[in-house]
Amino acid sequence: MWLTRPFNERSTQIFLLILTVAVIAVTVLHLAVPAGHPLYVSGYTVGLLGKYLTYALLAVAVDLVWGYLGILSLGHGAFFAIGGYAMGMYLMRQIGDRGTYGDPILPDFMVFLNWDSLPWFWYGFDMAWFAFAMVLIAPGLLALVFGWLAFRSRVTGVYLSIITQAMTFALMLAFFRNEMGFGGNNGLTDFRELLGFDLRSGATRLGLFIASGVALALGYVVCRSIVGSKLGRVCVATRDAEARTRFLGYRVERFQLFVFVVSAMLAGVAGALYVPQVGIINPSEFDPIFSIEIVLWVALGGRASLYGAVIGAVLVNYAKTVFTGVMPDAWLFALGGLFVFVTVFLPQGVAGLLGHLKRRRDDEPSDSETPDKEATA
């Protein structure tokens, strides 16, 4: 089965190993070690790491389209946010009559903005299965429509990047409007429980952290098996010589669309896991700046190497945590500098470096250029 193929690749094995060890280690250190002990991992840190993991998944999703399909999407924040909103709406409905006004149906913000009834698009979100389905479907659908329009008319390169940016910008403005019924600027917050687990308990947060880890692993495997497959090679072919691929008889726009949608869904999942961990979703996640930042994570980690995206996401966000803590003013300098440095001096990113070293050690091409032979053979 094509989904199992990645498990034969060494890079995937190593990645999954590290990830598993990491997640288990944190779990153990959080539960088993007494607080105050130097090895103790506090709930705060767990939450932080959980957030990084969701970002990592998001980065993987972006790398899939940018690295392998050559589509620089400046709008992936939108899919992330929509997934987040889907989850947020579910969590809002879970509050039930424990809201400030004790309204069994309407969320608080609707009550004091005088909504008399629940808008149609909120229906069904009280059911977990529906909400979780929406986490995949809503971003997927947006990607499908948008992508279909764009790829069909062969909008590529810069133009595509710019209209993806326009898309997320328009969505941001839209979600800021209170008439939209998504809580406007305040977004959705004050969540209580997820599938019956109290979101304000440490155990739940740990669970979410682990869930994020698992999601990242799954997402990685899915992406790996896509790029490892013949389809992945068609993508690379499209990236490098679109016209040629057409003459080989591949319907390029459909492959682009397929991968774009998959990527959007992954982003949605990342968002859905992000929201309960940070406890709020509001339109600022649609901010084009955020989408560009995601691209930086990937660029830093290294395009067209999925694990690179993960490294990039974790590094940058950890740096952000440190800098905004230690010297707030310096953060933007650092971030900006990073953008310039990576693009000019490190086009292959960290993964590129690793691959380079690897190749120097034993002269086989790193899988960022050609998928592993054991996959092909």
Q: Which of residues 22-51 bind other proteins (CB under 8 A)?
A: 22, 25-26, 29, 36-45, 47-49, 51
Query: Min. distance of Cβ 126 from other proteins in angstroms?
Result: 17
Compose the 167-206 pattern: x for residues touching other proteins by CB under 8 A, - for all others: x-xx--xx-xxx-----xxxx-xxx-------xx------
Applying CB under 8 A, among 208, 234, 264, 313 the residue interacting with other proteins is 234
Applying CB under 8 A, among 7, 10, 17, 21 the residue interacting with other proteins is 21
Beta carbon nearer to other proteins, 129 or 362? 362
What one-character-per-residue DSSP string does 186-233 give?
G-EE---EETTEETTSHHHHHHHHHHHHHHHHHHHHHHHHHHHSHHHH
Report the distance separating Cα 302 and Cα 154, nearest Å. Answer: 26
Count of residues near other proteins by CB under 8 A: 132
Q: How many CB atoms lie within 10 A of CB 275?
A: 31
258-277: which residues touch other proteins (CB under 8 A)? 258
Beta carbon nearer to other proteins, 38 or 129? 38
Note whether 67 and 240 are within 8 A (CB): no
Q: For residue 280, what are the β-bridge partners?
A: 189
Report the distance separating Cα 132 and Cα 325, nearest Å. Answer: 35
Applying CB under 8 A, among 62, 143, 239, 302 the residue interacting with other proteins is 239
If DSSP codes are grouped into helix, strand and coil, which group holds residue 39?
coil
41-100: which residues touch other proteins (CB under 8 A)? 41-45, 47-49, 51-52, 72, 97-100
Give the distance from CA 64 to its chain's centroid: 11
Beta carbon nearer to other proteins, 19 or 136? 19
Query: Min. distance of Cβ 226 from other proteins in angstroms?
Result: 7
Here the tokens at position 78 are 């939108």
Distances 373 to 5, 182, 223, 313 between C-alpha atoms, Å: 11, 49, 17, 28
Applying CB under 8 A, among 248, 353, 356, 359 the residue interacting with other proteins is 248
Region of 55-63, 128-136, 242-250, 352-360 interacting with other proteins (CB under 8 A): 242-250
115-144: which residues touch other proteins (CB under 8 A)? none
Applying CB under 8 A, among 292, 294, 309, 313 the residue interacting with other proteins is 292
Closest to 273 in 3D by CA, of 320, 201, 214: 214
Applying CB under 8 A, among 245, 305, 348, 366 the residue interacting with other proteins is 245
Instruction: Please enumerate in sequence order all residues whose Cβ is within 8 A of that of 123, keeping only pairs 6 or more positions apart, or say none.
Output: none
Report the distance separating Cα 206 and Cα 212, nearest Å. Answer: 10
Region of 112-120, 133-141, 206-214, 353-361 interacting with other proteins (CB under 8 A): 112-120
296 binds other proteins (CB under 8 A): yes
153 φ, ψ (degrees, to nearest 5): -90, 20
Applying CB under 8 A, among 7, 101, 121, 123 the residue interacting with other proteins is 101
Beta carbon nearer to other proteins, 132 or 258? 258
Region of 8-16, 108-116, 135-143, 355-363 interacting with other proteins (CB under 8 A): 108-116
H/E element, 345: helix 328-345
Beta carbon nearer to other proteins, 112 or 123? 112
Report the distance separating Cα 196 and Cα 219, nearest Å. Answer: 25
Distances 360 to 60, 291, 365 between C-alpha atoms, Å: 26, 35, 10
318-347: which residues touch other proteins (CB under 8 A)? 318, 321-322, 324-326, 328-329, 331-333, 335-340, 342-344, 347
Beta carbon nearer to other proteins, 13 or 154? 154
